[in-house]
Amino acid sequence: MSLLPVTLFGDKILRKKTSKVTEVDNKTIELIKNMFSTMHNANGIGLAANQVGADKAIFVVDISALEDYEDSKPMAIINPKIVERSEEKIKMEEGCLSIPEIRAEIERPKEIIITYQDVDLKEHTIKAGDVLARVMQHEYDHLQGILFTDYFTPEDKKKIKPQLEDIKNRKKEIDYPVSDDVSYQLR
C-alpha cells in the first residue's frame, strides 16, 4: 500500500461532483487500500476519493481511533446517497485533510440514513448517528464538490481567506504528502 498525495483547497477536483463507480476492479481495490493508508498516515477519520485526485464516488471512514468508538469497523463506501436526514441538528467541530489547520463548529443533522455499495457492489442501507453521521456527511459533501468551509458565515470566510490562500499556494507546512498543483488528478 502506498500513500497518495492529498489534494488541497483550490485544487479543481475538489469542486467537481465525482463519477459513479460501475465496476470494482483491482485498480479500485488498490485505490481504496491506499486511501485508508493515506487517511491513517494523516490522522484522519474520513477521506473521499477526490481528496486523492480520483474522480470516483468513494469514501473511506475509520472512527475506531476515537474514544468510545474503538469497536467501529473501517468502512469503504461506494456510490453513497443520503436518503434521509434527521430534523434534529447538532454542532460539532470539523476539520479536513484538504484544508489543514482550519477547524470550525458546523451544524448538521444528528442522524442520517445512507445507502451505498460495498466492494462487491452489494447494496447496503444504514442509519448513522453522531460522529459516524458527521463524518459520512462531510465525506459525502466532498463527493458532491462541497467543502465544509462552504457552511461558514461570510464573516468567518473573510477571516480565514489568508489561510486558505496559503493552503492553495502551498505555503503551509503539512506533515503528509500533498498534491503539487491545482490541476492534479489521477486518470
Which positions are catalytic?
A: 139
Q: Any residues with CB less than 8 A from the CB of 126 and at least 6 apart, and which?
A: 113, 114, 116
Backbone φ, ψ for residue 155 (5° rounding): -65, -45
Distance of alpha carbon 13 from alpha carbon 39, whole angstroms:
18
Q: Tell me how crowded residue 21 is: count the other CB atoms within 10 A of its CB.
A: 18
Distance of alpha carbon 74 from alpha carbon 64, whole angstroms:
7
